[in-house]
Amino acid sequence: MKHFRKMIWPYIIWAGVIVVLPLLMIILYSVTKGGNELLNIQFTFDNFKRMTEPIYVDVFVKSFKLGIISVIICLLVGYTLAYLITSFSEKVQSVLILVVTIPMWINTLLRTYAWISLLSDNGLINTVLVKLGFEPINMMYTDFAVVLGLVSDLLPFMVIPIYTSLSKMDHSLIEAAHDLGANKFKTFWRVTFKLSIPGVLNGVIMTFLLSISTFVIPKLLGGGQYTLIGNLIENQFISIGDWNFGSAISVILAFIILMSITFMKKIDKDEIEEE
């Protein structure tokens, strides 16, 4: 086996170039000032100090709130969906999973534009409402539009891991629970849900990561005034050109995400140990 170990080197070099190096660059940018060219850099913590201004703290709080709301909705809808899918025969299941993943074949931008044409003030939904004699509803550029866009975009990432854990589950455990006198709810809670927790946690982590760093969906459905962390970073890099501050925000975001994942992995571990 030992001589195979050498074959790992190309991978390590590759990972170093495309993963570690950019990360180090971001960290370097975040603790320096002096422009984007790295020729006349000076070390400073001003970029991080700027983040403590109430306006930027608010952006973080808002992003987290929105991320958590999206994850909760995704979890409720996604779990139900995955649970229903497992109740079909295996052939139907694979078709249904295909249906869940089909939207992912289409570019996010295109899907988001589709939401715009549905939700806008003179869009499809409002046109139908007016035809039926109702008042039109203002949906674009609201929290509702952004959460809707996020949930519809992220749902597959929740459904698939949960479905995977549920479908691997041994059905005789449920029968055993029934035989031992547990009612339907108790069986679900103590057996089915408990066994699907790894899938749930994976789904939660993935959707949370994606929702907290998104910038396209809030920009298109929330308008330019809808600033989340992702938009803040995008602005610093693309339009303002302050890569130092942008990197500092990225580093803080990465740190917070790392903490959240560690926290959630810990729940996973505790659950298993409890068994």
Partner 1 sequence: MKKTSIMKKITGAVMVMTLSMSLLTGCGSKSDKTLKVYNAGEYIDTDLIHDFEKEFDCKVVYETFDSNESMYTKVQSGEKYDVIIPSDYMIERLIREDKLQKIDWSLIPNADGLDENVLGLACDPDNEYSVPYFYGNVGILYDKTVVDEADLKDGWEILRNEKYKGMLYMYDSERDSFMIALKALGYSMNTTDKKEIDEAYEWLANQRDTMEPVYAGDDVIDNMISGNKAMAIVYSGDATYIMSENENLAFFAPEEGTNIWNDAMIITKDCTDTKLAHEFINFMLEPDNAYANTAEVGYTSPIIEAREKAAADDYADIDAYIPDMTRANDEVFRYQDSETKAYFAELWTKIKAAN
Residues that bind partner 1 in the complex, under the rule CB under 8 A:
35-36, 55-56, 58-59, 62, 113, 116-117, 120-122, 140-141, 219-220, 223-227, 232, 235-242
* Measured distance CA(74)–CA(62) in Å, rounded: 18
Q: Looking at beta carbons only, is 16 or 241 nearer to partner 1? A: 241
- Shortest separation between residue 270's beta carbon and partner 1, angstroms: 37
* Measured distance CA(64)–CA(44) in Å, rounded: 27
What DSSP string describes 63-96? Answer: HHHHHHHHHHHHHHHHHHHHHHHHTS-HHHHHHH
Q: Which residues contact 23 (CB under 8 A, 6 or more apart)?
A: none
Torsion angle in degrees (nearest 10) through CA of 35, 46, 223, 154:
100
CA angle 184, 189, 192 (to 5 degrees): 85
Q: Looking at beta carbons only, is 157 or 215 nearer to partner 1? A: 215
Q: Looking at beta carbons only, is 21 or 240 nearer to partner 1? A: 240
Q: Which residues contact 112 (CB under 8 A, 6 or more apart)?
A: 149, 153, 216, 217, 220, 221
Q: Looking at beta carbons only, is 119 or 158 nearer to partner 1? A: 119
Q: Which of 46, 71, 66, 32 lies closest to 221 in space, CA to CA?
A: 66
The 3-state DSSP class for residue 33 equals: strand
- Shortest separation between residue 177's beta carbon and partner 1, angstroms: 49
Q: Looking at beta carbons only, is 164 or 213 nearer to partner 1? A: 213
- Shortest separation between residue 48's beta carbon and partner 1, angstroms: 15
The percent of the chain in helix, strand and coil, each rounded to the nearest 5, is 80, 0, 20
DSSP letter, residue 8: G
- Shortest separation between residue 261's beta carbon and partner 1, angstroms: 26
- Shortest separation between residue 237's beta carbon and partner 1, angstroms: 7
- Shortest separation between residue 66's beta carbon and partner 1, angstroms: 12
Q: Looking at beta carbons only, is 53 or 170 nearer to partner 1? A: 53
Start-to-end C-alpha separation, the chain: 36
- Shortest separation between residue 179's beta carbon and partner 1, angstroms: 56
Q: Looking at beta carbons only, is 216 or 256 nearer to partner 1? A: 216
